[in-house]
A = this chain, B = another copy of it.
Amino acid sequence: MTIKTVVWGENVHEQTNKTVSDLYPNGMHGCIAETLNKSTNIDAITATLQQAEHGLTAERLAETDVLLWWGHAAHGDVSDEVVERVCEAVWSGMGLIFLHSAHFSKPFKRLMGTPCNLSWREAGERERLWVTSRNHPIAKGLPDYFELENEEMYGEPFGIPEPLENVFISWFQGGEVFRSGVTYKRGAGNIFYFRPGHETYPTYHDKNVQTVLTNAVNWAYNPQARVQDVTDAPNRPVEDAIEKIVERGPRLHQDGEDGFK
């Protein structure tokens, strides 16, 4: 069974910043896809902001099992139509993994219903990620903690809803903490947010980070066929009621009506 995976990259700083392009000559999305493709059960391709419909056409999403999303400088350039399409794919069963600055991406904010804000500092300081849920599928093969010697700091309070499960909490050298790995479910879709990944550091070359990403794709994958008509609100006519009932009282709606949305 192969997990069809798309790594979406904003692909801006890779084109405009030499530090980033030196670290990731094939783009951060390219680096992540290469990592995932080392697993025989994952088939990862990439998509970017600059492509038509950002590379996320309805056809592409319909056959995507898990999507990863990295964005930072150009959140506002993502079309609202594509955002809604991505969210519908999640509700119907697609997994979605948000990376680092994607905390402020349109689909993450849309799916969380909160500001998703935080405090931050770009100082190349040490980050240490602690596993808070031992043997969680996303933490498979990891020790109790691992370190990234140079990372951007993200600090609490993090403006997210209470997660389904907390998998990682980060310690920062400058004194902050952060919920760095949190899971959610929206409709039939599994969602994971993973904090590390500032573009000027070699984070996606780190073995432990690569382990998390591979684990997360396997965890987010829901092999069932997509839920059809995932936003429908079907009327159940009285004559089709499971238990026989007789209509009573005044009505607002006519037979066969669609209802209000």
- A38 at the B interface (CB under 8 A): no
Cβ contact within 8 Å between A176 and B235: no
* Copies per complex of this chain: 4
Measured between beta carbons, the chain B residues less than 8 angstroms from A222 are 135, 137
Cβ contact within 8 Å between B110 and A252: no
Measured between beta carbons, the chain B residues less than 8 angstroms from A91 are 114-115, 159
How many angstroms from the CA of A124 to the CA of B19 in the assembled complex? Answer: 42
How many angstroms from the CA of A261 to the CA of B106 in the assembled complex? Answer: 9
In terms of DSSP, what is the predominant structure of the interface of chain A? loop
Cβ contact within 8 Å between A131 and B157: yes
Cβ contact within 8 Å between A188 and B135: yes
Given A174-B242, A176-B236, 11 new contacts (CB under 8 A):
A111-B113, A115-B187, A115-B231, A117-B232, A121-B238, A125-B245, A133-B188, A166-B179, A174-B243, A175-B242, A200-B250
Distance (whole angstroms) from the CB of A255 to the closest CB of chain B: 10
- A57 at the B interface (CB under 8 A): no
Measured between beta carbons, the chain B residues less than 8 angstroms from A101 are 260
- Which residues 87-117 in A have Cβ within 8 Å of B in the complex? 87, 91-93, 101, 104, 110-115, 117
Cβ contact within 8 Å between A242 and B128: yes
Distance (whole angstroms) from the CB of A216 to the closest CB of chain B: 15
Contact A177/B173 with A17-B252, A252-B199 known, Cβ cut-off 8 Å: no
Cβ contact within 8 Å between A156 and B177: no
By beta carbon, the residue of chain B nearest A179 is: B132
How many angstroms from the CA of A117 to the CA of B171 in the assembled complex? Answer: 20
Cβ contact within 8 Å between B150 and A134: no
- A11 at the B interface (CB under 8 A): no
Cβ contact within 8 Å between B232 and A130: no
Cβ contact within 8 Å between B248 and A118: no
- A169 at the B interface (CB under 8 A): yes
Cβ contact within 8 Å between B260 and A153: no
By beta carbon, the residue of chain B nearest A243 is: B175
Measured between beta carbons, the chain B residues less than 8 angstroms from A19 are 250, 252
Cβ contact within 8 Å between A260 and B72: yes
- A155 at the B interface (CB under 8 A): yes
Cβ contact within 8 Å between A123 and B248: yes
Cβ contact within 8 Å between A120 and B259: yes
Distance (whole angstroms) from the CB of A241 to the closest CB of chain B: 4
- Leading 10 A-B pairs by shortest Cβ distance: A124-B249, A175-B242, A135-B188, A124-B248, A174-B241, A175-B243, A115-B231, A111-B113, A19-B250, A113-B113
Measured between beta carbons, the chain B residues less than 8 angstroms from A164 are 162, 164-165
